[in-house]
Amino acid sequence: MYKHVLSPIQIGPMKLKNRVSFTPVWPSFATSDGRVNRELIEWVRDIVKGGVGCINIGCGCVNRNLPSFVTHLLRMSEEGTVNEMTMLSDLVHMYQCKIGIELFAINMYGGSFETRDTNSTKPVVELDPTFMTKEQIKEYIEDFVEAADRAVRCGVDSIVIHGAHGQLPGCFLNKRINERTDEYSAENMDNASRFTVELLSAIRERIGNKLAIEYRINASDMVEGSPTLDEVIEFVKRIEPYIDLLHVSRALHSEQKLAPYMNQPLYYPHGINIEDATKIKKAIHIPVTVVGSVTLEQAEEHIANGDIDMVSMARGLMADPYMVKNAKMSCPEKTRPCIRCNNCINITHYKLAPVRCSVNAEMGMETIYMNVGTTTPKKIAVIGGGPAGMEFARTASQRGHSVDLFEKSDCLGGVLNMAAAPDFKADIKNYLEWSIRSVKACDNVMIHLNTEAKPEDLNEYDVVVVAIGSEPIIPQFVKDNPSVVWVGDLEKGNATVGDDVVIVG
């Protein structure tokens, strides 16, 4: 069924057992001074156990001088990281998986290029392409080369140079971001590609073929000044001799409104970069992978057609790291779907807290949930068959308890039935269906529909869990206003509306 996805692939000196890679993710683990910690190790273990061909650790900082706000990012700029990353490489290899580290110079969050005054003589971030001195460019290249050398000594199999999302050096191609007039200007491709070519050739010269060199690129920055796809292709042809794999993404971090194009929410299509990746692949001779809500089905189809060579995923694999093993065992229906709520990225990138997932409670909490189980099984009543009740029932049953699940309506799912109603919320529908399917598949969960649990029925249980739903959040300023109704009441027929309706949310 997933013959092409599951077939091996050679990426430079690295052979992957299948064509699914965990794309670079910064889980906001590492100690405050950027060293590998137990949380990172166990998070990685949980993902690679699920069968991916390769895992890429996001945001390995190379900067020799890190801004003070940078904490909990892996410092590939420090010699001490070599020892600890070696442990991580060895762990990943134990699972017949390969490991890559993304190298990047932290920047960008300080300002927006779109709002920069074009007459300004001041940089908007520490490393602003328009204002970087040639000395800074040289230092930047040296920092990358040193970090790449450390990566070799850590025993990782690949490095991913982050040139997408407005990171240096990729943003040198954008005429709006790069307003230089010297030999690094964006005016022609010789100049625009100069920095990246110098960087990649210096890395290749130092590390040779000891590991694979991968490059993340934007098919489009999606702002004024963005290179066209033809220009991107021209650029890729220039860097092709130095790299083994190209990752295709799009959009800029510095523009908040573009965030949905990097991490597509549930109302965006799946696989939004496949079309551009296909066009790029046709023009070059190295393998191409693509990110952006790609499903395993899309990956299979497009790898089979020769449009792309492999697929890179983040959120789908965090929602369920066992996606690849399930595909291999011909039971893809067991894979817990990601609902593309972006809770994970909001937590890591905006709250700067450790990664969490709305549908995978263990994600990011591996050290806490390790070895939980029971030697004294309990008899448990769960009241309410919504998402929380079903999650509890499944988890308790996996840990060896027996569960009676009481639901007073005639179906499981609770509020998710309403949330999944619009057709553009298909991801929630998939999750709802998975949730019902998987709780029904538990041997020791008895489901009682159309049954309201009464106190006198509950005496025989060791534990009673109340999961009877949550209250919708209605803003105070519209509360108690008779012309405001909650969509849930409307769906249930408990409220009516007239002909002129304002929908909020």
Ligand X SMILES: Cc1cc2nc3c(=O)[nH]c(=O)nc-3n(C[C@H](O)[C@H](O)[C@H](O)COP(=O)(O)O)c2cc1C
Looking at residue 351, its amino acid is K
Pick the closer one to ligand X by CB: 23 or 193.
Answer: 23
Pick the closer one to ligand SF4 by CB: 278 or 346.
Answer: 346
Give the x-and-dash track for 325-364 against ligand SF4 (CB under 6 A). Answer: -------------xxxxxxx------------xxx-----
CB of 27 to ligand X, least distance (A): 6
Which of ligand SF4, ligand X, none does residue 102 bind (CB under 5 to 8 Å by kind)? ligand X
CB of 268 to ligand X, least distance (A): 10
Q: Residue 350 gets which letter from DSSP?
A: I
Pick the closer one to ligand SF4 by CB: 156 or 341.
Answer: 341
Which of ligand SF4, ligand X, none does residue 442 bind (CB under 5 to 8 Å by kind)? none
Task: Answer whether 225's CB lies under 8 Å from 174's CB.
Answer: yes
Q: Looking at the DSSP assignment, which residues form a beta bridge with residue 21?
A: 54, 312
Which of ligand X, ligand SF4, none does residue 339 bind (CB under 5 to 8 Å by kind)? ligand SF4
222: left (phi over 0), alpha (psi -120 to 50) or beta: left
Looking at residue 419, its amino acid is A
Q: Which helix (H) or strand (E) holds 462?
A: none
Which of ligand X, ligand SF4, none does residue 341 bind (CB under 5 to 8 Å by kind)? ligand SF4
Contacts of 91 (CB under 8 A, 6+ apart): 41, 44, 45, 48
Q: Which of 4, 98, 281, 315 binds ligand SF4 (CB under 6 A)?
A: 315
CA 402/CA 116 separation, integer angstroms = 61
SS3 212: strand
Please give the C-alpha separations between residue 254 and each of 104, 119, 124, in angstroms, as whole numbers: 15, 19, 11
Segment near ligand X (CB under 6 A); pick from 13-21, 128-136, 251-259, 311-319: 311-319
Separation of first and last alpha carbons in the chain: 39
Question: Taking CB under 6 A as the criterion, which residues in 45-104 touch ligand X?
Answer: 58-59, 102
SS3 174: coil
Task: Answer whether 5's CB lies under 8 Å from 296's CB.
Answer: yes
CB of 356 to ligand SF4, least distance (A): 7
Pick the closer one to ligand X by CB: 43 or 434.
Answer: 43
CA 413/CA 390 separation, integer angstroms = 8
Q: Does 25 bind ligand SF4 (CB under 6 A)?
A: no
CA 289/CA 20 separation, integer angstroms = 9
Q: Does 318 bind ligand SF4 (CB under 6 A)?
A: yes
Which of ligand X, ligand SF4, none does residue 406 bind (CB under 5 to 8 Å by kind)? none
**Could you check whether the bond before residue 169 is cis, i.e. omega within 30 degrees of 0?**
yes
Q: Does 291 bind ligand X (CB under 6 A)?
A: yes
SS3 355: coil
CB of 397 to ligand SF4, least distance (A): 22
Binding site for ligand X (CB under 6 A): 23-26, 58-59, 102, 162, 216, 249, 262-263, 291-293, 313-316, 344-345, 348, 355
Binding site for ligand SF4 (CB under 6 A): 315, 318-319, 338-344, 357-359
